[in-house]
Structure 1
Amino acid sequence: MESDFARFKAFYSTTSLWSGKLLGLQQFGLSNFKFDHLVHQKSLDLPWIPEGTLLGKRAEYFFKYCVEQSNNYQLLLSNLQVFKGKITKGELDFIIKEKQTNSTIHVELVYKFYIYNPSINSTEKSTILQELNKYQGPNGKDHLVRKLKHLKNHQLPLLHTNEAVELLKNHDIAVEKIKQQVCFLAHVFIPHHLWNHKFKYIHKSCIAGYYYKNAAFAKAETENTYFLPEKYAWKMTPQELPLSYSYHEVALLVNKSLERGFAPLLWMLLEDKSFERFFVVN
Structure 2
Amino acid sequence: MKNNIELQYKGFLKTHNLWRNSDVFELDQFQFEAKTFSIENTQRFKEIRLGKRVEEFLSHHLKSTRKIDVIAENIQIKDNKITVGELDFLLRDKSKCIHLEVIYKFYLYDPDVKGDELSKWIGPNRKDTLVYKLQKLKDRQLPLLYSKHCKKTLGTCNLQAKDITQQVCYKAQLFLPFESNIKDISPLKNNCISGFYLSFNKIEILRNFSFYKPSKLDWLIEPHDKVDWIDFTEAKEIITGYINEERSPMVWLKDQNNNLQKCFITFW
TM-score w.r.t. the length of structure 1 is 0.88
What do you get for the CA RMSD once the two structures are aligned?
1.9
Question: 1:226, 1:250 within 8 Å by CA — same for their partners in 2?
Answer: yes
**How many matched pairs?**
265
Cα shift at 1:186: 0.2
Question: 1:5, 1:44 within 8 Å by CA — same for their partners in 2?
Answer: no
Q: Report what 1:109 is aligned to.
A: 102
Q: Report what 1:96 is aligned to.
A: 91
Q: Hey, what's the Cα distance between the residues in 1 that align with 2:117 and 2:89?
A: 30
Q: Deviations over 1:12-43 (max 9, x none)?
A: 111111011111111113xx23757x4xx6x6
Q: Hey, what's the Cα distance between the residues in 2 that align with 1:229 and 1:189?
A: 16
More moved, 73-82 vs 19-28: 19-28
Question: 2:197, 2:266 within 8 Å by CA — same for their partners in 1?
Answer: yes
Q: 1:244 to 1:135 in 2, by over 3 A?
A: same
1:129-278 equivalences in 2 (<5 Å): 130-217=116-203, 219-240=204-225, 242-278=227-263
Q: Hey, what's the Cα distance between the residues in 2 that align with 1:143 and 1:97?
A: 31
Cα shift at 1:194: 2.4
Q: Report what 2:26 is aligned to.
A: 24
More moved, 164-173 vs 239-248: 239-248
Q: 1:82 to 1:189 in 2, by over 3 A?
A: same
Report the secondary structure of 1:119's partner residue.
coil
Q: Deviations over 1:160-180 (max 9, x none)?
A: 011112211121112211000
Cα shift at 1:88: 1.1
Question: 2:252, 2:260 within 8 Å by CA — same for their partners in 1?
Answer: yes
Residue identity matched to 2:14: S
Q: 1:70 aligns with which of 57, 65, 87?
A: 65
Cα shift at 1:193: 2.9
Q: 1:279 to 1:34 in 2, by over 3 A?
A: closer
Question: 1:187, 1:207 within 8 Å by CA — same for their partners in 2?
Answer: yes
Question: 2:106, 2:173 within 8 Å by CA — same for their partners in 1?
Answer: yes
Q: Hey, what's the Cα distance between the residues in 1 that align with 2:58 and 2:43?
A: 10
Report the secondary structure of 2:187's partner residue.
coil
Unaligned runs of 5+ in 1: 123-129
Report the secondary structure of 2:117's partner residue.
helix
Question: 2:8, 2:217 within 8 Å by CA — same for their partners in 1?
Answer: no
